[in-house]
Amino acid sequence: MQAAPFQYDFYSEENAPKWRGLLVPSLNKVRHQVHPKLSSQQEALQYIEGLILVLLNTLCQAQPRTVQDVEERVQRSFPHPIEKWAIADAQAAIEKRKRRNPLALPVDKIHPLLKEVLGYKIDHQVSVYIVAVLEYISADILKLAGNYVRNIRHYEISQQDITVAMCADKVLMDMFHQVEEDISVFPLDEEPSAAEEQMYYDLVKAFMAEVRQYLRDLNLIIKVFREPFASNTMLFSDVENIFSRIVDIHEVTVKLLGLIEDTVEMTDEGSPHPLVGSCFEDLAEELAFDPYETYAQDILRSGFHDHFLSQLSKPGAALYLSLEKQEKKKKLETSISLLKKCIPTVHSACRFYSQQMKGKHLAIKKMNEIQRNIDGWEGKDIGQCCNEFIMEGTLTRVGAKHERHIFLFDGLMICCKSNHGQPRLPGASAAEYRLKEKFFMRKVQINDKDDKEGEYRHAFEIILKDGNSVVFAAKSAEEKNGWMAALISLQYRSTLERMLDTAMLQEEKEEQMRLPGAEVYRFAQPDSEENVVFEENVQSKSGIPIIKAGTVLKLIERLTFHMYADPNFVRTFLTTYRSFCKSQELLDLLMERFDIPEPKPTEADQMAMENGDQPLSAELKRFRKEFVQPVQLRVLNVCRHWVEHHFYDFERDAQLLRQLEEFIGMVRGKAMRKWVESITKIIQRKKQAQANGPSHNITFESSPPSIEWHLCKAGQTDQFDLMTLHPIEIARQLTLLESDFYRAVQPSELVGSVWTKEDKEINSPNLLRMIRHTTNLTLWFEKCIVEAENVEERVAVISRIIEILQVFQELNNFNGVLEVVSAMNSSPVYRLDHTFEQIPSRQRKILEEAHELSEDHYKKYLAKLRSINPPCVPFFGIYLTNILKTEEGNPDFLKRHGKELINFSKRRKVAEITGEIQQYQNQPYCLRVENDIQKFFENLNPMEDMTEKEFADYLFNKSLEIEPRNARTLPRFPKKYSCPLKSPGVRPSTVRQGTMRHPTPLQNEPRKISYSRIPDSETESSAASAPNSPRTPLTPPPASTCVTVFSVSLCSLTDSDTIFYLSVSCLHHASVSCVCESLACSGRR
């Protein structure tokens, strides 16, 4: 019975949501494994995800049921030699799976989906095998794209980078069967005019890039081709006669590149050019270039070819080479062709280098000229699918016995017929050639053909993808060797590059980078449980390990780690470091981290140097490139983030700022220049902003609504009161005021519960200002209610406050809403049953709904906060409660082996909360500021000269006076207000778009708040990354400045600050009282 055909569509409306984005986080981990120093764009990872799904579809076409079925499918559908490597990785993954999960891609998520794809359940091992194959291919794509990105001196992988890199790789292009029409079109660079002279520095940079590529080619010859011969000296005794002085050439190239890099790096910034000519002169004086002469003589001697073949024909040579991997054997068999290709390179190396500076533009010009000379050309331009012209010449097409003029490019082989001697009609094309055939190099294989008498000599075969073939014959053996060298090189270039990458990676692992000792550089101390602890089985989305606890030195080391950058850790550290480290100490440690001593030479190194050798030159070069430079750049990056997002540290300490400016002023090196300039510009901008004061000039899409007035008008400040001002405008101006207070609070005012401690006036000025305002406004509402002795006026006052609450709700001012709820739930107001009975039922319902926001641990409030669009003013009390819970429920230090380590997991939890606060600090309100009304509310002083106890007694006694206990009827009182009590309502007089609602969507949907549960022990930890830290609009004043918006001193408010938070709590809501009591600590301590 035949199996049903495979019909699953990964991109259908039903299936696409299941797969879209599933692999992206894991692909980012794979990227970190292959290129930890690079980052990748989201679109790039999504593009790779699409490619992986194409491969998965290919594997599932065979409807596999066992591992063997998948393996056979891979062997049939994947090009050589990548199928062997993918199978080896997949088999290794199955073995490792028995012990632990070695894969980055989510096997557990893909396994149940494969049941839907295939229509039947498969064994988990089959899923592991499939995923391992997919992960190997994704790693191969990312490694290839990363190499390309590093070569062009970029630091982020884009989708275009992946496309370009894959177009240059025959194996991957074969795998994904991209046709000519799929090749992305990129704009061709125009040839520079003769008047455009290249700058000296640009020439030097281009030369350095060429030398690096040349060095990579030398590594390819030494590590891929020479190594199998050199590793068996018993069999191949005269390796030097085959490869000549290639190792010496490699050494002099490394030395030359190092000298040029040092010259460029150490060139004074005032100097116009890095004078690199002396580098050549120094090496020439040492006769360092002599190996080139010997190499050229050896390679060009007449018996070289025969000698090489004799080495391969030695007894045992074939057996030895057959033990190598099959792909290596094939490449070694073609090494003679590749070595012969070096002959023109040796000849051209003697020419003046400047002739090659316009190579790219000349190549494009050459390709365009060739295309114009070909009649009948169709399809995309040659320059859009090829990068390099290789060679041209005349070959005979065996069989038809026609001569064809061949143009060979790195991506195309074009066969043309010459138009010479052909009669031309008037108006016909003047092209020199007529197109006959073209072959994509990624879709053909090259096969050498033995000479056959009477048929053909000096021939080779082009085998097409469909199995057909074309045989071409050259006129001589030398001509054939030239064509074979070029074709074989193109066919196996990507495979050889992979082999070289593997060899160099293995060599790098075996040769550990030498670092300075811990006695001279404290940050070189090896990791141990006594100085750093990582979260178990937890990594960030980028695959970076998450620190649980550590010493200050280890935290600084990981903050500026040489192997990877961790932006989340930088944000969290700079937000929370003040709880365990002073600002001056942090700057000193960063400066110490920046000043890296070089490793000391060993005794063997000393002896070698005495003999005139330089044993440390290569190691020092690697040390500077892979350790010193990354660390120093990351130190400067931390400084940049520090001054950008936490400049208040420097506002409070002028000496700290001077020291930082002196430090960055001493930094030298071209690689550091842009960082120094960036930090300097930020400091200048911050200083200018500090001198000019906070700016409130904000441009909105629509005009803000006009000011609403009721009984009193603009300028009549002596008549301002709850009943004379318009309720809409009261709510608007209070919202603007509280939004400014909320947006001004810095993360540093929260970490370590500093608002409850002795220096709270210095450390938390903005937070204390918001707490005082909230307390005063709540007490003022209570006072307005109980001082309205006449019941009719009292009902009007409460109704007016509820109207203000309505506008608060429409403006998403949750802090204002809970201020009103707090006032209504206070003891003097809550007991006024007779008064509330006369409140309209609609308003009572509004009040009840607002009250429900604080129930069940603010469940409804949190749900509503996540659902609304900013701007908004969240209720600050819940954040302070959670911070206090985190601070008090987790120790500051964790003990490990008798030593105390800073509990950074605790700081990360606090940073989560501050990140939640900050994500609502960015969007301002589109409302007009009315300074007189705002000043009225800023200067509220309901307590006047009374103490907290006196004021509380006054309010309660007044409440008993206007509504005695168990009274059936209320006592009569004269009216207090001479103005009309009728409300103007909560509909604005002029309705404009944006007046009440603000439809601007959140840039990022708020995360689920993860701090509602505090771990019971230090072993529990959070794996969440630290959130973003956007800049807040106001900075705290210097320590010498006091908050002067209140007419009473802090001492007089010490206990009254608690009233608001305590009054939020009624008898039925113990959860709210927790908030009150936690906030009250700012007054008690």
d(CA 823, CA 821): 5
Using an 8 Å Cβ cutoff, are 828 and 822 in contact?
no
d(CA 824, CA 782): 7
> 217, exposed or middle or buried, with CB in 10 Å at 0-12, 13-18, 19+?
middle
d(CA 530, CA 538): 20
DSSP H/E element including 386: none
For residue 397, list its beta bridge partners.
Answer: 402, 472
How do residues 467-487 score in pLDDT, each as one tens digit? 888 999 998 888 898 899 889
Q: What is the CATH number of domain 16-178?
A: 1.10.20.10
Which of 665-669, 680-684, 876-880, 988-992 has the least mean pLDDT? 988-992
For residue 901, list its beta bridge partners.
Answer: 894
pLDDT at residue 353 is higher than 90: no
Please give the average per-residue pLDDT across 174-192, as a whole number.
45
Determine what percent of the chain is predicted with pLDDT higher than 70. Answer: 78
Higher pLDDT, 244 or 175: 244
Q: What band does 187 get if pLDDT is binned at 50, 70 and 90?
A: very low
Helices marked H in 380-476 — which ranges? 382-385
**Residue in this structure with the two tokens 């420097």, named with its chain if needed:** 650
- Alpha carbon 417 to chain centroid, angstroms: 53
Class of domain 363-509: mainly beta
For residue 895, list its beta bridge partners.
Answer: 900
Higher pLDDT, 352 or 758: 758
Nearest in space to 100 (alpha carbons), one of 533, 548, 536, 546? 536
d(CA 672, CA 565): 16
**Which tokens sit at 114?**
């494969």
pLDDT value at position 58?
83
First-residue to last-residue Cα distance in the chain: 83
Class of domain 200-355: mainly alpha
**Residue in this structure with the two tokens 């050199």, named with its chain if needed:** 230
Peptide bond into 81 cis (omega under 30): yes
**Residue in this structure with the two tokens 């937070």, named with its chain if needed:** 767
Nearest in space to 652 (alpha carbons), one of 581, 579, 748, 769? 748
pLDDT at residue 878 is higher than 50: yes
pLDDT value at position 820?
94
pLDDT value at position 1056?
40
Domain boundaries along the sequence of the chain: 16-178, 200-355, 363-509, 522-601+613-692, 721-871+924-1084
What backbone torsions phi and psi does residue 144 show, to the nearest 5 degrees? -60, -50
pLDDT value at position 953?
93
**Which tokens sit at 730?**
């009261």
Using an 8 Å Cβ cutoff, are 1061 and 1079 in contact?
yes
d(CA 333, CA 478): 18
> 512, exposed or middle or buried, with CB in 10 Å at 0-12, 13-18, 19+?
exposed
d(CA 335, CA 485): 9
pLDDT value at position 522?
92
How do residues 992-1015 score in pLDDT, each as one tens digit? 444 344 433 333 333 333 333 333
3-state helix, strand, coil in the chain (%, to 5): 55, 5, 35
**Which tokens sit at 339?**
């070595």
pLDDT value at position 12?
79
d(CA 830, CA 843): 15
Q: What band does 108 get if pLDDT is binned at 50, 70 and 90?
A: confident
d(CA 541, CA 21): 13
**Which tokens sit at 567?**
């932006």
Please give the average per-residue pLDDT across 80-107, as a whole number.
72
pLDDT at residue 356 is higher than 50: no
* 935 contacts: CB under 8 Å, gap ≥ 6: 717
**Which tokens sit at 801?**
């406050």
For residue 406, list its beta bridge partners.
Answer: 393, 415
pLDDT value at position 567?
87
Please give the average per-residue pLDDT across 224-251, as a whole number.
79
Which of 314-323, 824-833, 863-872 has the least mean pLDDT? 314-323
pLDDT value at position 1079?
36
Using an 8 Å Cβ cutoff, are 36 and 29 in contact?
no
CATH classification of 522-601+613-692, choosing from 2.40.10.220, 1.20.870.10, 2.40.160.150, 3.40.1190.10?
1.20.870.10
How do residues 686-712 score in pLDDT, each as one tens digit? 988 888 766 656 666 678 888 888 888
Q: Which amino acid is at 656?
A: L
Using an 8 Å Cβ cutoff, are 211 and 260 in contact?
yes
How do residues 5-32 score in pLDDT, each as one tens digit? 556 778 777 788 888 888 888 888 888 8
pLDDT at residue 202 is higher than 90: no
Mean pLDDT, the chain, whole residue set: 78
* 1083 contacts: CB under 8 Å, gap ≥ 6: 1053, 1054, 1055, 1056, 1057, 1058
pLDDT at residue 657 is higher than 60: yes
CB atoms within 10 A of CB 967: 12
Alpha-carbon dihedral angle through residues 775, 779, 780, 782, given to the nearest 10 degrees: 150
DSSP H/E element including 934: helix 931-938
d(CA 710, CA 725): 5
Half-sphere exposure of 900 toward its Cβ, with a 13 Å CA cutoff?
5
Nearest in space to 447 (alpha carbons), one of 499, 398, 409? 398
d(CA 496, CA 1056): 77
How do residues 397-456 score in pLDDT, each as one tens digit? 887 778 899 999 988 899 998 877 665 555 556 678 888 888 888 888 888 888 876 677
| Polymer length of the chain | 1085
Fold of 721-871+924-1084: Son of Sevenless (SoS) protein; Chain S, domain 2 (1.10.840)
Using an 8 Å Cβ cutoff, are 556 and 523 in contact?
yes
Alpha-carbon dihedral angle through residues 166, 168, 170, 173, given to the nearest 10 degrees: 30
pLDDT at residue 172 is higher than 60: yes
> 763, exposed or middle or buried, with CB in 10 Å at 0-12, 13-18, 19+?
buried
Alpha-carbon dihedral angle through residues 990, 995, 996, 997, given to the nearest 10 degrees: 140
* 278 contacts: CB under 8 Å, gap ≥ 6: 263
pLDDT value at position 980?
84
